[in-house]
Structure 1
């Protein structure tokens, strides 16, 4: 191809096409940047939600640990009162035995007999006569127990020890109920904590997905920006070419070492035909050699 075949019109046409390409790349870049911003906003919102969920879960963890510590302390108190009850009850039995006559049946034995009769009444198929007999026997035993205990209550030592046994039993039962309540509350706090941690993991995965989409869109936007700048630079190169042509039309250049200049200009011109970017020095060389 001869230099003269490259007309000003062709150069202007290529320049205009590159200008359109640069504008198209700019619009694509801006659209991708907007998408990138949207993904960044969604990522940030999800990360903020993750932080909120973890903070709430941490609060439930703190409460769970507090309740577990209270469970431990309350169990210790329950054990203290259980031991007191066991010791006092044993002492009460011993005192009752010492106060009872040798010929009388121990109250503990009477109570065991009463429970055995109650169990038999509830679980056995009895004739009316047999059931009446059992009921009468139970009434006699109950009356004997009341009589014997009433008699024992007149003894100050027995009465005080009896009161202490009941108090220890009530305390142990109270602490037992409290242990159950505290343990249940601690478990609820634990369950809520785990629920929030699971939710945080779910939201974190969503945030990671938005981060991946953000990176993908950002890479595409950066590539569109690079191509936009590249097209702008090429437009500027064509502007320089056109400027050189117009300047040549105003004032011709003289001949100096034309053989060397023409050889170099031929190489530059070949690069130009391949679409390579030309420097200002390349354009000046083409102008001097008469290619432009």
Structure 2
């Protein structure tokens, strides 16, 4: 009986500890679930920020591409304008500012020679001489006129170049304004991208900490669960041992009862009982099973 009480006490203590372990395991599992949900919410927020960050990255890259395109156009326009400026500079070098005046001077000299030929009495020698002078002067005049016409054409071309240069610089300035516009846009998007990048980096750190916390709690819960399994096995073992002891006791009692009955109803006693019973019946009495 004493041993049975000890076994029962062990079983009660084991079952009590088993329930406490189950409660602790469930508490840890619930806490782990809450921490896991917090971690998953952070992961979801990180994905949202990543999507937004990628959107601003794409906008920034598009703005940079536009900036590069207009920068290339601006540079091409400026290069063309500078080439025309160089051509204009070279063209100006061939311009003789005094050429129109020189043409007028030669023209006046020619007219004076012609007038002298027509109005002044000349000897044959003098006339031949003046005719030669007139021929040379006319040749000079025609040559200078051709040069003047050519120079006028050059001046027209230079004037057109001047207008083209102004137009090119105007367009280059317009492209430069677009370069500045897209640069500012790209900077704005880049700043937003960097801000989101930093937020994502901070979230990743929080997620890491939450995951570590979750794994720690889950590890504790798993350790407690292992103890739960061990305690359940121990309880089953104690119950099995108690059942086995009861079965052994029951069998022992049955064997003792059988032995007692066998001793009680031995063959000699059975014969004696039978004779007495027959006599009793003959006398009309009652049969008693008590020997």
TM-score (norm 1): 0.62
Paired with 1:57 and 1:163, the residues of 2 have a C-alpha distance of 47
Q: How many matched pairs?
A: 201
Paired with 1:28 and 1:191, the residues of 2 have a C-alpha distance of 49
Quote the offset at 1:92 in angstroms: 4.4
Equivalent positions of 1:118-129 (< 5 A) are none
Paired with 1:53 and 1:87, the residues of 2 have a C-alpha distance of 50
Quote the offset at 1:84 in angstroms: 2.0
Paired with 2:214 and 2:2, the residues of 1 have a C-alpha distance of 45
Check if 1:18 corresponds to 2:14.
yes
Quote the offset at 1:58 in angstroms: 2.1
Q: Deviations over 1:194-248 (max 9, x none)?
A: 2211111100110011100111011111111111121122111221222223223
RMSD: 2.6
Q: Which residue of 2 is the match for residue 205 of structure 1?
A: 205
Structure that is richer in helix per residue: 2
Quote the offset at 1:52 in angstroms: 2.1
Paired with 1:18 and 1:6, the residues of 2 have a C-alpha distance of 18
Q: Which runs of 5 or more residues in structure 1 are unaligned?
A: 104-151, 255-292
Check if 1:40 corresponds to 2:26.
no
Paired with 1:100 and 1:184, the residues of 2 have a C-alpha distance of 50
Q: Which residue of 2 is the match for residue 238 of structure 1?
A: 238
Instruction: Decide which structure has the larger Cα Rg and report it.
Output: 2
Q: Which residue of 2 is the match for residue 29 of structure 1?
A: 25
Q: Deviations over 1:120-150 (max 9, x none)?
A: xxxxxxxxxxxxxxxxxxxxxxxxxxxxxxx
Q: Which residue of 2 is the match for residue 67 of structure 1?
A: 63
Q: Which runs of 5 or more residues in structure 2 are unaligned?
A: 100-151, 255-291
Q: Which residue of 1 is the match for residue 45 of structure 2?
A: 49
Question: Which residue of 70, 87, 108 maps to 2:83?
Answer: 87
Check if 1:222 corresponds to 2:222.
yes
Quote the offset at 1:174 in angstroms: 0.8
